[in-house]
Amino acid sequence: MLDDSPPDITEITSTSCVFNWQAHKPLGRDTLSYILQLQIYRKENDYSEIYNGELTSYRATNLESGVDYRARVCAIRTTNEGLSLYSPFSPATHFVLPRPEDLAAALSASKALDNRLLNNDNREQQLSFINRYRLTIYRKFQSMKLLENRTLTDQQWAFVISVGFALLAIFIAIFANVIYSRYNNDASISVDNTFSPSSSSSFPGIRK
């Protein structure tokens, strides 16, 4: 009915502790209860019952520090007919409650460790904040640098385009000048041919 896990011990002091064990899955409408037994190791041959109920945890008090204890638990399934079925006891848990001076030293060491971990966490948080700040500044600098590069590139393109338009305008002006010059030359040649001496003989009354 119960697994082979021994009871766990938590919330330890010099004179008390809490026992915890795993619950058993009920069968049908049968009820479950548990028996927790305690033994002073090597002084008492028999276990004494310190808890009988349906809960899966129990706080034991009025214990002695520096004493070897053993604790075990079993489950009881009660059927509808009132029949009680006991499971085998679990393996025993061996424990010794600390003396007050040992407990105080342990608590002091635990607090010192907690403070050290807290300081490390604060230092890590500060370093993390600094790293995030540096990363933000770096990204802003990179974005500003990229924007500056893009601005210079746009200016260069504008200069190239303006130079291209200027060259195109010069080429068009030269081409127009050439066409205009050829047109003037052709017109002057035509006028000269019209008023040449050979053409004057064609008119009557004009002698050479």
Give the pLDDT confidence score for residue 88 in this predicted structure: 93
Give the pLDDT confidence score for residue 196 in this predicted structure: 53
Average pLDDT over residues 1-28: 86
CB of 87 within 8 A of CB of 2?
yes
Distances (CA, A) of 14 to 11, 48, 104, 115, 121: 10, 20, 10, 24, 32
Q: How far apart are the first and last CA of the chain?
A: 153
Query: 5-19, 31-45, 175-189: which has the minimum mean pLDDT?
Result: 175-189
pTM, 2 dp: 0.50
Is the pLDDT confidence value at 206 over 50?
A: no
Q: Domain limits of the chain?
A: 8-98
Q: CATH code for 8-98?
A: 2.60.40.10
DSSP state, residue 6: P
